[in-house]
Homo-oligomer: A and B are copies of this chain.
Amino acid sequence: MTALDRGEMRDREEGSAFEPKFGADGLATCVTLDASRGDVLMVAHMNEAALRATLATGVLHYWSRSRGALWRKGDTSGQTQTLVEMRVDCDQDAFLAFVNVGCDGGACHTGRRSCFYRRVERENGEIRLVEIEASKPRVATALG
């Protein structure tokens, strides 16, 4: 790493300039948390357009890798996420979004509140998943 690289890294880490860094695929990671409960609802990706749209409108936008499209969360499910606070990490390639959720407060397309509804357990050398939030019947069938 050159002195210039180190200077740039220091500016990015210690400065007040917002210089989001996207990967080779154009994406950065967004961890979305319930603003009132503080727990993680989901992890998704943002390209620059999704990040800009989120900050401009105060409603969470993501980039759907499976659909290859910009995605305003809640458009089909009603589970719209209103931004309360956004934080960025040291190297500005990951974001925390604290949100209020519309509709039933859920975020996962399986019908659960959080996408992290299973615990990874190791028992007698075997790894398996244990459900910690049960699914529930849900009328909507479309993703997100």
Contacts and interface: CB of A to CB of B under 8 A. Distances in A.
Interface string A104-131: 0000111010011111101000011111
A55 B128 contact: no
Interface residues of A, number: 42
A15 interface: yes
A16 interface: yes
A90 B109 CA distance: 9
Interface centre among A43, A120, A129 (most CB of B within 10 A): A120
A96 B40 contact: yes
Nearest to A15: B129
A85 interface: yes
Interface of A is mostly: strand
A89 interface: yes
Contacts of A48: none
B128 A42 contact: no
Contacts of A109: 90
B18 A119 contact: no
A85 B119 contact: yes
Contact of A43 (B31, B38, B42): B31
17 contacts: A14-B110, A15-B129, A16-B129, A16-B130, A17-B129, A18-B129, A42-B89, A43-B94, A87-B116, A87-B118, A87-B120, A88-B118, A88-B129, A89-B116, A90-B108, A90-B112, A90-B115
